[in-house]
Amino acid sequence: MPRPHEDLAHHTLVDHRRGGPPVAFAPGAWCAIEVAHVAPERIEAGLSAYETLVEKARSSFGAGAAAVVRSVDRRRVVSLLQLDGHDGFRRLEAAWGERRLEAEHLSVAESSTRGLYRLAASTGVDAIDPESRDAYAFERVAAGPELSARLLGALVPATGFRGALIFGSDDGVASAIVYRFEHFGELDVFRASPAALDILPAADDSFAMVHPVKTFG
């Protein structure tokens, strides 16, 4: 069911109907990735806030493809938005810092982190698809560009593996990963395997099984 939200800056209705086309990011694409921690009862408000923020960026300065996902435990909202690099990231922060949107954002997020990342590697079915029944997960780890080749080497033969996106942070000290498996159980088994733990020893608390909610092509 649509949940329109009035965009006062443009006097239009932002349609929050779930879904959207499968979204893939181009090799080497720059993306702003934000992780917001929310209270479970505020998850719908959090999703609406980030959908509005993405629409604001796309309408105000032409940001590209985007996806908004939520964690299975309803405690996190993750947004991924393709930009044109550092200039785009500065425009994004200015657009999202507009007083009304910033107030809405802060009202739903207990805490949030935002960073500029570049797509370092992808493999398999690398699109984010709200209509898919596959199992997705997202995590951020303290590992730089050297992560990609080792992680892909472990992922590709894993049972149930469907695809992955590996983003490297602009400062080269962290990575953000989107996993896609056939089933959550297979994804969980891989993430707990010795091979994965050896490659990804420094995961922060952003690891979560997630569902794509809204995409923007």
Centroid of chain to Cα 143 = 18
CA distances from 26 to 23, 29, 41, 82, 104 (A): 10, 5, 35, 9, 31
* Residue 186, C-beta contacts closer than 8 angstroms, at least 6 positions apart: 135, 158, 159, 160, 161
Q: CA-based Rg of the chain, rounded to a whole angstrom?
A: 17
SS3 188: helix
Has residue 97 got a pLDDT over 80?
no
pTM (2 d.p.):
0.87
pLDDT value at position 3?
39
pLDDT value at position 106?
65
pLDDT value at position 182?
97
Mean pLDDT of the chain: 86
- Please write the tens of the pLDDT for every residue from 160-196: 999 999 999 999 999 999 999 999 999 999 988 998 8
Q: Which domains does the chain have, with CATH numbers?
A: 5-116 (3.30.70.100), 119-210 (3.30.70.100)
CA distances from 21 to 32, 71, 90, 127 (A): 19, 20, 27, 9
16: confidence class by pLDDT, cuts 50, 70, 90: low
